[in-house]
Amino acid sequence: MGPRTKKIFVQGDSPKVSDLSLSDFGALITETVHEAIESSCANCPIPEKAKGHVGHMVGVLEDIGEGDIRKGIVDARDNLVFVSKDREVREQVKTWVLRVCVVAITGGVLSAIWVGL
């Protein structure tokens, strides 16, 4: 073994004991890490078309949380709950306003007919 060569144990299909230089060992580690990342990315539930936007979403959540992504997530969730409730109330108000208008117009038309206009 040379001055920059170490004896290491390698698992898998490689020989049990191998002589690798430090640069070869670094390359082996890099390759192993890349393979692990690729295999975990292959099982990722995020659709391919959305993966490019994940960084932007994280940035938005950090902005909402003033630098704290956890606070941003909580604040965003609270905001979504508020907006959902607000939409429900608006829909109910629109329904009641429409009903009142229909009743008023119908009443006006019926009273005009009754009076004989």
Mean pLDDT of 40-69: 85
Residue 117's alpha-carbon distances to 68, 104, 110, in angstroms, are 69, 17, 10
Please determine, for residue 73, whether its predicted confidence score (pLDDT) is greater than 90. Answer: yes
pLDDT, mean over the chain = 82
Alpha helices in the chain (DSSP H): 22-42, 48-51, 54-64, 69-115
CA dist., res. 115 & res. 41, Å (int): 77
Q: Of all residues in the chain, what percent carry a pLDDT higher than 70?
A: 79
pTM for the whole structure: 0.48
**CB atoms closer than 10 angstroms to residue 70:** 10
Burial of 85 (0-12, 13-18, 19+ CB in 10 A): exposed
- For strand 5-9 and strand 17-21, is the pairing parallel, antiparallel, or unpaired? antiparallel
CA dist., res. 8 & res. 19, Å (int): 7
Q: Determine the pLDDT at residue 95.
A: 97
Q: What is the pLDDT of residues 15-39, one digit of tens each?
A: 444 566 667 777 778 888 888 777 7
